[in-house]
């Protein structure tokens, strides 16, 4: 039921990065559920993780291994989150890294583990170990789409995006994949994303670019207001293009490509939100500062009453107005507030716009994609949040998730 979202075609290979996917039978039957990514011998790797206090065992281990040296290998499983599993979960995650290290003749600390799926279930280490030899043998540069499919859980569509850009030293590629559909909210949006480029970057600069890209993409989306235990976004710079990027115009062009890939993936997650029938952009303009703008955007994007009205295509615009009013904006002059939906002016001077009609509102709210624009008339700051409606199917999917 994804909103105007289709599976990507062939994703552009990234020189120096190889991927493989296979079926380990972790939870799903008859589909791939285990992925290996080879970042390359000289790659820089950076990652951002969930801020959930109950972060999963693989998050703990990935942070340790990332801090310990120069990781090369990423091992991802779907179907089991290995979260809420205590010391046994940590041991299981360490063992999968060690098992892979033995096969690859590499240190266990060179492996970063990632998991997604059901929380609270022991990670089945044996089927993962049994699948690792074939997984390592299957590594190929053109494995991005297979990997995107393998990391899916409640997703209905695999998510991927590519950009190829010309820099002064030559052409470089940025390709990324992501999974996520429910339990989506900052920080980090409750998903996994892996983005690679063949540009040459040091790890600190890569982390800076990744942090900036995530802020207005994966950290700007919400489906249901729940943040997971397993979120991670990983950036890889293989350097295999031979084009080294440093601060200047080339870095700006590379940052723009990375931002575009991250935003496309983040939007795909919302379009594929569990049970979603509407894709919604909530834009706050003329706020006093970015924090104020973000608070208002989140109040509207997170409101169950707004989201259910959107599902029903009901122009119950008073719910949007009420969400703006409870966002905690100090000294809000309601007489200055304006609200429009898909270009239809609904609210002006703190009340219903004089030219608003129910027919125009019905047409705006009935669209599959909605742009809600809120003017606070307080300054020059703004913020955009991406969300979806809340449907019957959201309840059904989550009520049945473990069955």
- Domain assignment present for residue 4? The answer is no
Query: What would the two tokens of residue 350 be?
Result: 């703190």
Please identify which of the residues 50, 96, 190, 227 carries the catalytic annotation: 190
pLDDT at position 401, please? 59
Question: Is-catalytic flag, 190?
Answer: yes
0.85 exceeded by pTM:
yes
If asked whether residues 240 and 355 sit together in one domain, one would say: no
CA distance 304 to 402: 24
pLDDT at position 189, please? 47
Q: Domain end: 245, 271, 297, which one?
A: 271
- Domain assignment present for residue 12? The answer is no
- List strands edge to edge, sheet with 338-341: 351-352, 344-348, 338-341, 369-375, 279-287, 381-388
pLDDT at position 89, please? 98
Q: Which residues of the chain have pLDDT under 50?
A: 189, 403
If asked whether residues 267 and 288 sit together in one domain, one would say: no
If asked whether residues 189 and 287 sit together in one domain, one would say: no
Q: Domain end: 216, 251, 271, which one?
A: 271
Domain span including residue 311: 279-399
If asked whether residues 146 and 74 sit together in one domain, one would say: yes
If asked whether residues 249 and 379 sit together in one domain, one would say: no
Q: Domain end: 206, 240, 271, which one?
A: 271
- Domain assignment present for residue 175? The answer is yes
CATH number of the domain where residue 314 is located: 3.10.20.340
If asked whether residues 327 and 227 sit together in one domain, one would say: no
The pLDDT tens digits of the residues spanning 74-96 come to 999 999 999 999 999 999 999 99
- Domain assignment present for residue 170? The answer is yes
If asked whether residues 120 and 231 sit together in one domain, one would say: yes
If asked whether residues 190 and 111 sit together in one domain, one would say: yes
If asked whether residues 81 and 191 sit together in one domain, one would say: yes
- Domain assignment present for residue 13? The answer is no
The pLDDT tens digits of the residues spanning 111-132 come to 999 999 889 999 999 999 999 9
Domain count, the chain: 2
- Domain assignment present for residue 246? The answer is yes
If asked whether residues 261 and 390 sit together in one domain, one would say: no
If asked whether residues 283 and 224 sit together in one domain, one would say: no
- Domain assignment present for residue 214? The answer is yes
CATH number of the domain where residue 232 is located: 3.60.70.12
- Domain assignment present for residue 86? The answer is yes
If asked whether residues 26 and 71 sit together in one domain, one would say: yes
């Amino acid at each position: 039921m994804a909103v105007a979202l289709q599976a990507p075609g062939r994703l552009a290979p990234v020189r120096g990065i190889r991927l493989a996917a296979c079926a380990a039978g972790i939870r799903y039957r008859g589909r791939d559920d285990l992925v290996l990514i080879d970042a390359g011998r000289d790659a820089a790797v950076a990652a951002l993780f969930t801020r959930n206090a109950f972060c999963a065992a693989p998050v703990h281990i990935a942070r340790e291994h990332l801090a310990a040296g120069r990781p090369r290998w990423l091992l991802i499983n779907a179907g089991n989150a290995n979260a809420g599993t205590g010391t046994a979960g940590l041991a299981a995650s360490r063992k999968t890294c060690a098992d892979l290290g033995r096969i690859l003749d590499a240190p266990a600390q060179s492996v970063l583990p990632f998991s997604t799926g059901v929380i609270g279930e022991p990670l089945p280490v044996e089927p993962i170990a049994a699948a690792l030899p074939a997984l390592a043998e299957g590594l190929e540069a053109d494995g991005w789409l297979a990997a995107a499919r393998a990391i899916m859980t409640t997703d209905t569509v695999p998510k991927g995006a590519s950009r190829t850009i010309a820099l002064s030293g030559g052409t470089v590629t940025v390709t990324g994949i992501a999974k996520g559909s429910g339990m989506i909210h900052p920080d980090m949006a409750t998903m996994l994303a892996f983005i690679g480029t063949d540009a040459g970057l040091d790890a600190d600069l890569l982390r800076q670019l990744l942090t900036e890209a995530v802020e207005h993409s994966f950290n700007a989306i919400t489906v249901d207001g729940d943040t997971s235990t397993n979120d991670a976004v990983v950036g890889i710079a293989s350097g295999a293009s031979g084009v080294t990027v440093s601060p200047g115009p080339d870095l700006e062009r590379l940052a723009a490509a990375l931002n575009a890939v991250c935003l496309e993936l983040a939007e795909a997650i919302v379009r594929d939100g569990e049970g979603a029938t509407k894709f919604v952009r909530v834009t706050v303009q003329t706020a006093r500062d970015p924090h104020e703008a973000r608070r208002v955007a989140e109040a509207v994007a997170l409101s169950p009453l707004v989201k259910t009205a959107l599902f029903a295509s009901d122009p119950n615009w008073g719910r949007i107005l009420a969400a703006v009013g409870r966002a905690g904006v100090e000294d809000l002059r309601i007489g200055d507030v304006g609200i429009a939906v898909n270009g239809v002016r609904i609210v002006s001077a703190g009340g219903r716009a004089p030219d608003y009609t129910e027919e125009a509102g019905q047409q705006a709210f009935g669209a599959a994609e909605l742009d809600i624009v809120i003017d606070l008339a307080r300054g020059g700051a703004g913020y955009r949040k991406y969300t979806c409606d809340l449907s019957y199917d959201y309840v059904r999917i989550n009520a049945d998730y473990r069955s």
